[in-house]
Amino acid sequence: MSTRENTKKRNKRSIKIDIIFIILSLLASIFLIYELLKLKKIETVLRMIVIAIITLINLIMIINLFKRNRKKKRIKKGIKRFFLLILIIIYIVLGANIHYVISKIDNMNKKTVTLTTSLVTLSTNKVGNVNDIYKSKIGIGSDKTDTEAYVLPMEIVNKYNLDKNNELVPYDDYLTMINDLYNNKVDYVFLPSGYVTMYNSIEEFEDIEDDTKVIISSLKEEKKDDELRASSADVSKPFTILLMGVDSSSDGIKNANSFNGDSIMMITFNPTTLNVTMLSIPRDTYVPVTCMNNVDNKITHAASHGASCVISTVEKFTGIKIDYYAKINFKGLVDLVDALGGVEVDVPYSFCEQDSKRKWGKSTIYVKKGKQTLNGEQALALSRNRKNNAKKCGEEYSQGTRNDFIRGQNQQLVIQGIINKAKKINSIGEVYDILDSIFNNLDTNMSRDTILSFYNVAKDIMTTKKDKDGDIVSIQKLYLAGANQIIFDERSSLELYNYIPNQSSKKAIIDAMKINLGLMKETTQTSFSYKLGENYETNVIGKNPTTSTTLYTLVPDFTTYTKASAESWANQNGFTIIWNEVQVSNKSSDGKITKQSYHRKKRVDLCNPKTITLTINVYKSTEPAETTDDSTDDNTDNTP
């Protein structure tokens, strides 16, 4: 083979290699440009400049690669190919990193939700197989459009022919179902698979995990409701976020369509003033629940019907539109805080709590009072704690007030600590750790573009306050004052503890939120009192209402009333009493009221008609009555 032919072959091989490099370079640069274009609203001018530079570099490298240069041609081509290879690697690495971040962000807005159902019975029921269920009553949801309450259960019913030899009993809500199961009115009930954490906070069902067992479960994945998929709100203007905590012992959020609703927090944010209002809504707050035909009930019960019910209920309660929601599994809080390297919190009291897996004993979390850096488990324990666990941990860890309000305030402390720690993020590795910790445990209606648009807000915050101590945003804590009242719940037939909101407190916090959203003008406070030497405390809006809380008038327990006092109550409240007298032989029970047609603690305003039947004992002696014989003896001589 001649030298010329060898040269031609080498040139052809060189051209092929050059073409491969060009194709790889173009593909890598297109990949990077495509990923850069996804970063909408983030440094738009800078991104366009970078894209232009990438395009220019590609043209220069391509031209130079084919440029003829006889002197040291091979060496120069090798150097050019080397630099082009480095450029290809850079394009791929940068594009891959952007793609990774984007994919994590996209996953925060779950496109689907996993719906679940379980056929549940009492632990004392010896039946352990669905095929053995026979001549039983089975509770099932009445709404045929509800996947969890009816559609999924009916799939199990049809698959195992449970409707052939059993009676299906329709119910409007799960709580009534569970109560009837406990009272043996039904033998089995269909409940969401997370029913234990949803209802074990109710006193009557606090041992529901031990009291019940699951016969069979099923799940189904479907698209989220339209109103939960995406929001068109603009984060450059004031907006609202509703945070809903899912208190689960396992990772993940997709299987938590129905949840316990113990932690509901409404936040307003003004990006211009960097002011935040934060309201923790107590789980027992007594409000009209929209998906329960606006019947007044605990707000936590709205969560058993899903996020959309909680959102609409809060909107109705406050009169303020919810722009965004974020449903967060508390279990993910552990990973998030650890990814941040811990958060600094001034712990208000020493306490102990279960770990993230709901375990005591060696797993018990102990945290002492004072300012300190909490790890993930400690931060979760503080966010969960609402009970005095003296029997578990002793008096040292049982000081201080514990309730739902304090828990809400503790959660605000943890959130504030997370926000403050965010300003110290300075590496892509930390960003990755944070994304990994939250993407599986968070579901939101924020689109990718919306989440990315927070970059500009964060940039403003970091630019102005990164090197400053203290909070990076101004947080105004709100407090919903109210009073406790036990009210008879019509659906479950239980007397449940409720928290009745104070109307002046409610107005104050709603006004504060509207002011922060720019929906109301702020009334300027011209003066305030302060004594030298005393610690100044920021006013908590809503905590000191101007009027007392108005409680509901309830039907009393008439078995403790006399007939006269019952008549007096009826007259005062516009009731008519129908007396049902029952004769008794025991004189000591005479006049005792034994039954009433309206259940005690029922709201008077819900009694219709205002007529109540009371059963009262009337004494009747069982001894024969004495008689007087006035008859005249026929043999008596009446002649004078």
4 or 187, which is more confident: 187
**What tens digit of pLDDT does each residue of 244-262 get?**
988 766 666 666 667 777 7
**What tens digit of pLDDT does each residue of 527-549 get?**
444 444 444 445 789 988 999 99
Section 121-125 average pLDDT: 96
Q: Identify the pLDDT of residue 335.
A: 86
CA pair distance 351, 387, nearest whole angstrom: 9
537 or 522, which is more confident: 522
**What tens digit of pLDDT does each residue of 268-286 get?**
999 888 899 999 999 899 9
| Residue linked to tokens 């069979």 | 216
Percent residues over pLDDT 70 in the chain:
86
CA pair distance 9, 517, nearest whole angstrom: 73
111 or 142, which is more confident: 142
Q: How many CB atoms lie within 10 A of CB 9?
A: 11
Instruction: Identify the DSSP state of 363.
Output: G
Three-state SS for 267-321 is: EEEECCCCEEEEEEECCCEEEEEHHHCCEEEEHHHHHHHCHHHHHHHHHHHHCCC
Residue 168 pairs in a beta bridge with 138
Instruction: At 325, list the tokens.
Output: 């929601």
The pair phi, psi for residue 308, each rounded to 5°, is: -60, -35
| Residue linked to tokens 């009333």 | 561
C-alpha pair distances (Å), 550 with each of 267, 471, 481, 499: 27, 37, 12, 11
pLDDT band for position 106 (cuts 50, 70, 90): confident
- Whether 629 has a pLDDT exceeding 70, the answer reads no
Nearest to 379 by CA among 345, 419, 425: 345
CA pair distance 500, 486, nearest whole angstrom: 10
C-alpha pair distances (Å), 445 with each of 60, 172, 283: 44, 28, 23
Q: Identify the pLDDT of residue 462.
A: 66
Mean pLDDT for all residues in the chain? 85
Section 203-217 average pLDDT: 92
535 or 217, which is more confident: 217
- Whether 494 has a pLDDT exceeding 80, the answer reads yes
- Whether 238 has a pLDDT exceeding 80, the answer reads yes
**What tens digit of pLDDT does each residue of 598-623 get?**
999 999 999 999 999 999 999 887 66
Q: Identify the pLDDT of residue 634.
A: 47
pLDDT band for position 74 (cuts 50, 70, 90): low
Q: Is the dihedral of CA 482, 397, 198, 185 positive or negative?
A: negative
Nearest to 307 by CA among 324, 320, 295, 319: 324
Which residue type is seen at 504? Answer: S
Q: Identify the pLDDT of residue 41.
A: 77
CA of residue 59 relative to chain centroid, distance: 53
pTM for the structure as a whole = 0.82
Q: Identify the pLDDT of residue 538.
A: 59
At how many degrees (to 10) do helices 404-422 and 331-339 cross?
Answer: 30
First to last CA, the chain: 181
Q: Identify the pLDDT of residue 42.
A: 84
CA pair distance 78, 87, nearest whole angstrom: 14
Q: Identify the pLDDT of residue 2.
A: 63
The residues, any chain, with a CB within 8 Å of residue 417's CB and separated by 6 or more, are 343, 344, 345, 374, 379
Least confident range from 395-404, 423-432, 468-477: namely 468-477
- DSSP letters along 147-198, please? IIIIIHHHHHHHHTTTTTSSEEEEES-HHHHHHHHHTTS-SEEEE-TTHHHH
Which residue type is seen at 278? Answer: M
Percent residues over pLDDT 90 in the chain:
46
pLDDT band for position 557 (cuts 50, 70, 90): very high
At how many degrees (to 10) do helices 3-38 and 44-66 cross?
Answer: 180
| Residue linked to tokens 């208000």 | 348
Least confident range from 199-208, 276-285, 622-631: namely 622-631
Which of 103-107, 344-348, 460-464 tops mean pLDDT? Answer: 344-348
250 burial via Cβ count (<10 Å: 0-12, 13-18, 19+) = exposed
Section 190-196 average pLDDT: 90
Section 210-223 average pLDDT: 92
- Whether 43 has a pLDDT exceeding 90, the answer reads no
- Whether 464 has a pLDDT exceeding 80, the answer reads no
Ordered structural domains, the chain, with CATH: 3-108 (no CATH), 113-223 (3.40.190.10), 227-516 (3.40.630.190), 558-619 (3.30.10)
CA pair distance 529, 96, nearest whole angstrom: 58
Q: How many CB atoms lie within 10 A of CB 475?
A: 18
C-alpha pair distances (Å), 370 with each of 355, 367, 373, 378, 438: 20, 9, 10, 13, 28
Least confident range from 90-99, 204-213, 258-267, 616-625: namely 616-625
Nearest to 403 by CA among 541, 262, 200: 262
CA pair distance 364, 87, nearest whole angstrom: 53
Which of 164-178, 400-414, 625-639 tops mean pLDDT? Answer: 164-178
Q: Identify the pLDDT of residue 226.
A: 63
- Whether 212 has a pLDDT exceeding 70, the answer reads yes
